[in-house]
Amino acid sequence: MAHIAFIGLGNMGGPMAANLVKAGHTVIAFDLVEASRHQAKADGAGIADSAAAAVRDAETVITMLPAGKHVISVWTDVIPAMTKGALIIDCSTIDVESSKQAHELAAEHGVRSVDAPVSGGTGGAKGATLTFMCGGDDKAFAAAKPVLEKMGKKIVHCGGAGAGQATKICNNMILAVSMIAVCEGFSLAEKLGLSHQALFDVASTSSGQCWALTNYCPVPGPVPTSPANNDYKPGFAAALMVKDLTLAQDAANAAGAATPLGKHAQEIYKAFDAAGNGGVDFSGIMRHVRGLAAKQ
Ligand code: NAD
């Protein structure tokens, strides 16, 4: 079993590190927050005094941090302390440019690297059912896959450096736009006197079918496991959707791609977040869409 260093033990990283311990790996963990370090210790990880101390002798290093600036700062700190030929994997969701920069830092020191952002949220992190979208060369991906398999159920190699991040933001832009479209469908249906179930029964088996409707229905009833049945408790918080849509818009602007619906979705989610709903599940945008009718 491998010696793995895990840096960033928050809502996602904490349970992911615990799953590596459960799988029999030796995990040395670090986070700036003391409570997170205590939890990791209770889960069976060894605790280091710093990120650089955690990575010493590790065959694989994993980071799960808030944003690109944190990843660049931690990778700059830890890579010189890593063994040449070792592997570093970043599972955070960050901008494509920072991700490419992080890969370059690793290459300069003879360290292999993979960007591997996830989908599946905190439930997937706890249950080891995450999907990993990976960017990096074939050898680095082959080394990362068996480690990622202990934390997830689907591991996809999307291309070279930064391709995992690119895939993640494209997917989440599609998700945000399709969720708003489903909410508009239900909002119109309500005004036309249709029941939620009637629209669901037809749209879920017709051309309106999509994941936001069939797996994550934003009105209570048709899909009992969706957050709409639990007062829109996340789930996937709206503030994180704003983050991903902003990364998508930044990437679209830098690459010269036209994404007008992605831009509009970003504006709608930003307004929802600014109204104090950042902690609400992103499917709670149903309430916002209903509210728009009153403002017309
Ligand atoms: P979080 O804020 O709960 O955890 C981040 C952790 O990183 C914190 O514990 C923080 O103390 C630690 N940290 C920050 N700087 C550090 C440093 N220099 N050294 C050591 N530790 C440091 O965030 P999260 O919800 O776990 O999300 C992590 C990443 O995963 C984010 O990029 C997020 O966008 C992405 N993500 C989150 C979800 C979700 O549902 N929470 C889903 C998919 C992707």
- Residues 183-209: tens digit of each pLDDT: 999 999 999 999 999 999 999 999 999
- Give the Å distance between the CA of 64 and the centre of ligand 1: 5
Which residues have C-beta within 8 Å of that of residue 38, sequence separation ≥ 6?
none
What pLDDT shows up at residue 94?
Answer: 97
> What is the mean pLDDT of the segment spanning 70-84?
97
Q: Which fold has domain 3-160?
A: Rossmann fold (3.40.50)
Is 74:49 a contact under the CB 8 Å cutoff? no
User: Residue 145 phi/psi, 5° resolution?
Assistant: -55, -50
Would you say the CB of residue 81 lies under 6 angstroms from ligand 1?
A: no
Tell me the pLDDT band of 296, cut-offs 50, 70 and 90. Answer: low
What pLDDT shows up at residue 4?
Answer: 98
**CATH value of 166-295 in 3.40.50.1820, 3.40.630.30, 1.10.1040.10, 1.10.357.10:** 1.10.1040.10
Which amino acids are annotated catalytic?
Answer: 168
- Pocket perturbation via mutation, ligand 1, pick of 11, 30, 47, 94 by most ligand atoms within 8 A of CB: 11
The answer to whether 3-160 and 166-295 have equal CATH topology is no
pTM: 0.94
Which residues have C-beta within 8 Å of that of residue 190, sequence separation ≥ 6?
196, 290
- Give the Å distance between the CA of 7 and the centre of ligand 1: 10
Would you say the CB of residue 216 lies under 6 angstroms from ligand 1?
A: no
293 has a pLDDT exceeding 80: no
CA angle at 191 for the pair 185 and 192, rounded to the nearest 5°: 85
Report pLDDT digits (tens) over 114-147: 999 999 888 899 999 999 999 999 999 999 999 9
What residue segments make up the domains of the chain, in order of their start? 3-160, 166-295
Distance CA 13, CA 218 (A): 28
